[in-house]
Amino acid sequence: MTNCIDNALAINEFAFRYLFPESARKQQWPLDLWEQEQQVRFLPAIEQRDLSDLFKRCITGSQPKSDLLQRVLASLFHTHFPFTLTPKSPYGFHAAYPSPRSYYPLSFVIHLVDDQYSRTFQLDLVNWKLLVLEERVVTQHDLNNTCHVVIKTDFTKYNELYNLFRKSLYALEIGHFIGSFSEIAATHGLNVSFNNKSNEISCEITDTDQSVQLRPLSSLISQFRFRNSGRFNYGLFPSQVHISREFVSNLSQVISAALLSAKTVFCPALVDKISLKACFAKTSDYEAGLYEHHQNQFIKTQAGNYIAVCEDNFNYHNFSFKFIPIILFICVEKYAFNANQSELIALNSALGFISQKIINHLTGQNLFGRPFRSYDQFSIDHMLSNKEQNKTAYYGLLIGKNRGSETLGVLR
Give 291-334 pLDDT, tens digit per residue: 999 989 999 999 999 999 999 998 877 788 888 999 999 999 98
Assess whether pLDDT exceeds 80 at residue 197: no
Mean pLDDT of all residues in 240-263: 94
Assess whether pLDDT exceeds 90 at residue 342: no
What's at 94, amino acid-wise?
H
Give the pLDDT of residue 125: 84
Tell me if 208 sits within 8 A of 190, measured CB to CB: yes
Give the pLDDT of residue 262: 95
Buried b (16+ CB within 10 A) or exposed e, 95-110: bbbbbbebbbbbbbbb
Give the pLDDT of residue 326: 95
Please state which of the ranges 48-57, 274-283, 384-393 shows the lowest mean pLDDT. 48-57
Give the pLDDT of residue 161: 84
Assess whether pLDDT exceeds 70 at residue 212: no
**Cα 30 from Cα 43, distance rounded (Å):** 21
Give the pLDDT of residue 209: 66
pLDDT band at 18, cuts 50/70/90? low
Give the pLDDT of residue 234: 54
- Residue limits of CATH 3.40.109.10 in the chain: 245-408
Give the pLDDT of residue 407: 45
Single pTM value for the model: 0.89
* Domain 9-225: assigned CATH number: 3.40.109
The better pLDDT of the pair 14, 387 is held by: 387
Mean pLDDT of all residues in 11-29: 72
Angle, CA 94 vertex, CA 51 and CA 52 arms, to 5°: 10
Angle, CA 331 vertex, CA 180 and CA 401 arms, to 5°: 55
Angle, CA 238 vertex, CA 236 and CA 244 arms, to 5°: 145
Give the pLDDT of residue 354: 97
| Cβ within 8 Å of residue 103, ≥6 positions away | 157, 158
Give the pLDDT of residue 182: 92
Buried b (16+ CB within 10 A) or exposed e, 183-200: bbbbbbbbbbebebeeee
The better pLDDT of the pair 122, 367 is held by: 122
Half-sphere exposure of 293 (CA within 13 A, CB side): 25
What phi and psi, each to the nearest 5 degrees, are found at residue 5? Answer: -90, 120
Q: How far is CA 301 from CA 48, 84, 119, 280, 291, in A?
A: 59, 40, 55, 11, 5
Taking CB atoms within 8 Å and a gap of at least 24, the contacts of 221-226 are 221/61, 221/78, 221/83, 223/360, 223/363, 223/364, 224/78, 224/83, 224/95, 224/96, 224/180, 224/363, 225/83, 225/84, 225/410, 226/84, 226/363, 226/366, 226/408
pLDDT band at 338, cuts 50/70/90? confident
Give the pLDDT of residue 250: 96
Assess whether pLDDT exceeds 60 at residue 411: no
Tell me if 344 sits within 8 A of 10, measured CB to CB: yes
3-class DSSP state for residue 340? coil
pLDDT band at 57, cuts 50/70/90? confident
Count of other CB atoms within 10 angstroms of residue 29: 19
Assess whether pLDDT exceeds 80 at residue 9: no
Q: Which ranges in 281-385 belong to alpha helices (H)? A: 306-312, 341-364, 377-383
Q: Which ranges in 24-165 belong to alpha helices (H)? A: 33-38, 52-59, 68-80
3-class DSSP state for residue 202? strand
Mean pLDDT of all residues in 62-80: 84
Give the pLDDT of residue 1: 45
Q: How far is CA 83 from CA 59, 87, 408, in A?
A: 9, 13, 11
Average model confidence (pLDDT) across the chain: 84
Mean pLDDT of all residues in 173-180: 95
Mean pLDDT of all residues in 227-235: 55
CATH 3.40.50.20 applies to domain 245-408: no
**Cα 365 from Cα 244, distance rounded (Å):** 12
Instruction: Calculate what percentage of the chain has a pLDDT beyond 70.
Output: 81
Give the pLDDT of residue 408: 46
Give the pLDDT of residue 141: 66
**Cα 383 from Cα 229, distance rounded (Å):** 26
Assess whether pLDDT exceeds 50 at residue 214: no
Task: State the first-to-last Cα distance of the chain, in angstroms, to the nearest integer.
Answer: 47
pLDDT band at 13, cuts 50/70/90? low
**Cα 279 from Cα 290, distance rounded (Å):** 5
Q: Tell me 118's DSSP state.
A: E
Q: Which of 398, 395, 400 is nearest to 275 (CA)?
A: 395
**Cα 178 from Cα 343, distance rounded (Å):** 17
Give the pLDDT of residue 406: 44
| Cβ within 8 Å of residue 296, ≥6 positions away | 252, 253, 256
